[in-house]
Structure 1
Amino acid sequence: MSFITEKRCLECGTAFKGRRDKKYCSDQCRTGYHNRINSDSHEISYMRNVNNALRKNRRILHQLNPYGKTKIDVDTLRARGFNFNYFTNTELQRDGSLYFYCYDQGYHAAAHEILVLVKKKHV
């Protein structure tokens, strides 16, 4: 059961009455507060850029590898905007080949300027 009590808005400091769990005097203050808290500080902006690059790389690999394994030249990935500096993890295989993954989509070098695209099998 909620009782009406007088509180102060977290955004503007105005006194208001409302439910016990109410924190803002208006929707404008609620939105303003959350926008300020989630603003593009340097760290948040950096993380957003990295996550966007990873998502873009994964999307490109997924589009070019609909069947789970295919060969492709490096220039095709570059032409689509693939950024080779961003990947989520690597796996060193027994044969010495190094696989680079963007989440479940990956690649490894097969020959000069030729990559094999693979999809990681989920465990």
Structure 2
Amino acid sequence: MERLCLDCGNSIKGRADKKFCDDSCRNNHNNRLKVEENFVLRRINSILRKNRSILAKLTPKGKTKVSRKKLINAGFNFDYHTFSYVTQNGNVYVFCYEYGYLVLNENSYLLVKREEKLWLS
């Protein structure tokens, strides 16, 4: 029974468990699989970076109030964030990395920058 390369379809010679005719075909096949798997991650990371950039631009001094319309016009996507933080008072801050917002009412948001020291060891 003739075995065929999983990438190019040419016949394979050699070991019985060999799946590819050469290293180039093996690399092509695995790279194609990774591209498909990572497409969703790249899209989400792109949205998160854009959200962070918008929040950073609108929060130059660490804290400010903005309208929902201003965030939407800038292209902010409310469906994507990195984490939420609930205060002792029950307020929920939604963060995109170190920048976040608190919903004040349906049209007004308080934007904040979380100051956190990261210690590298």
Percent identity over the alignment is 35
State the alpha-carbon separation in 2 of the partners of residues 81 and 35 from structure 1.
36
Q: Is the partner of 2:80 in helix, strand or coil?
A: coil
C-alpha deviation, 1:40, in angstroms: 2.5
Q: Which structure has more strand as a fraction of its residues?
A: 1
Q: Does 1:105 align with 2:99?
A: yes
- 2:108 counterpart of 1:95: no
Q: Which residue of structure 2 lines up, in the alignment, with residue 55 of structure 1?
A: 49
Q: Would you say the 8 A contact 2:68–2:106 is kept in 1?
A: no
Amino acid in the other structure paired with 2:23: L
- TM superposition shift of 1:35: 9.3
Closer, same or farther: CA 97–40 of 1 in aligned 2, 3 Å = same
Q: TM-score, normalised by structure 1?
A: 0.70
Equivalence for 2:23: 10
1:24-79 alpha-carbon deviations (Å, 9 max, x no partner): xxxxxxxxx479616520x3110001000000000000000010000000010000
Partner of 2:69: 75
Unaligned runs of at least 5 residues, structure 2: 1-21
Runs of 4+ in 1 over 2 A off after TM superposition: 33-36
